[in-house]
């Protein structure tokens, strides 16, 4: 939920809430798989005690499953930790593709739920000075409204290019999407963020473009 009086900080809080809810869901799934594998191990031991042979290959598979899920949960928690710290990180020089990588990783599960495939166009590093959390938040708003309007399998490609003193971030959507509606929603909800980033939005048939100064003016 949001209203017209939201500030960039309020939007940040919504963003933080959305992401941590999704991340906690991912961690729960990893724990549930560890729980089931541990439980299955106990079941097989009980059967072994009743005379059924225990296949070492099964044990190896279960051990591998548990280790993989522990690694998965650890990766998720590292991401959560980085995300938590980014909330109060000051403006810093950063490659925009790093922001793309991080934002798409954060939103990966929600995108899967909506049948949306996210990709990042390759290219050389593009540096800008920005509060990473604010740019991540703006990109998330674009994704969030894509998730709201999409009704089937969709794709979005993140691209970035330099244009003089600005950078141009493009979100190229698949076909048959109401890009203008996504743009209008982002402009409405994300106005404080657009202002904070001094960003201008342009809409094309299938592209939502954000023009942002490489370095914010005071």
Partner 1 sequence: MRVLLVDDEVELVSTLAERLDMRGIAATWVSDYRAALEAVEKEAFDIGLLDVRLPEMNGLELKRLIEARRPGMKFIFLTGHGSEEDFKACTAESGKEYYLIKPVQIEVLMAKLNEIAQS
- Between 22 and 127, name the residue whose CB sits nearer to partner 1: 22
Closer to partner 1 by CB, 71 or 153: give it.
Answer: 153
Nearest-angstrom CA–CA distance, 56 and 44: 11
* Comparison of 33 and 216: residue with beta carbon closer to partner 1: 33
Round to whole Å and give the CA distance between 175 and 178. 9
* In the complex, least distance from residue 93 CB atom to partner 1, rounded to whole angstroms: 37
CB of 34 to partner 1, least distance (A): 8
Min dist CB 36 to partner 1, Å, is 4
Question: For 60-96, what is the HEC assignment?
Answer: HHHHHHHHHHHHHHHHHHHHHHHHHHHCCCCCEEEEH
Rank residues 29 and 191 by Cβ distance to partner 1 and give the closer one: 29
Which residues have C-beta within 8 Å of that of residue 174, sequence separation ≥ 6?
153, 154, 155, 156, 206
Residue 22 CB, shortest distance to partner 1, in Å, is 9
Place of tokens 């925009």: 96
Nearer to partner 1, 10 or 24 (CB): 24
Residues that bind partner 1 (CB under 8 A): 21, 24-26, 28-29, 31-37, 39-40, 43, 47, 65, 69, 112-115, 152-153
| SS3 state at 161 | strand
Dist CA 80 CA 82 (whole Å)? 5
Residue pair 190/144 in contact by the 8 Å Cβ criterion:
no
Q: How many CB atoms lie within 10 A of CB 106?
A: 24
CB of 149 to partner 1, least distance (A): 15
């Amino acid at each position: 939920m949001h209203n017209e009086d939201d500030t960039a900080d309020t939007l940040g809080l919504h963003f933080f809430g959305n992401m941590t809810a999704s991340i906690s869901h991912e961690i729960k799934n990893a724990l549930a798989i560890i729980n089931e594998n541990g439980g299955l191990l106990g079941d097989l031991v009980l059967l072994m005690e009743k005379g059924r042979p225990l296949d070492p290959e099964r044990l190896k598979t279960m051990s591998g499953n548990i280790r993989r899920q522990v690694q998965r949960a650890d990766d998720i928690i590292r991401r959560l930790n980085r995300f938590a710290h980014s909330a109060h990180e000051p403006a810093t020089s950063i490659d925009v593709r790093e922001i793309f990588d991080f934002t798409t990783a954060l939103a990966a599960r929600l995108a899967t739920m909506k049948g949306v495939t996210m990709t990042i166009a390759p290219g050389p590093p593009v540096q800008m000075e920005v509060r990473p959390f604010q740019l991540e938040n703006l990109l998330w708003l674009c994704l969030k409204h894509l998730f709201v309007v999409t009704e089937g399998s969709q794709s979005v490609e993140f691209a970035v290019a330099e244009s003089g003193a600005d950078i141009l971030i493009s979100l190229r959507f698949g076909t048959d999407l109401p890009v203008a509606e996504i743009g209008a929603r982002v402009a409405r909800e994300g106005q404080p963020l657009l202002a904070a980033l001094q960003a201008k939005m342009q809409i094309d048939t299938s592209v939502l473009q954000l023009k942002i100064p490489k370095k914010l003016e005071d």
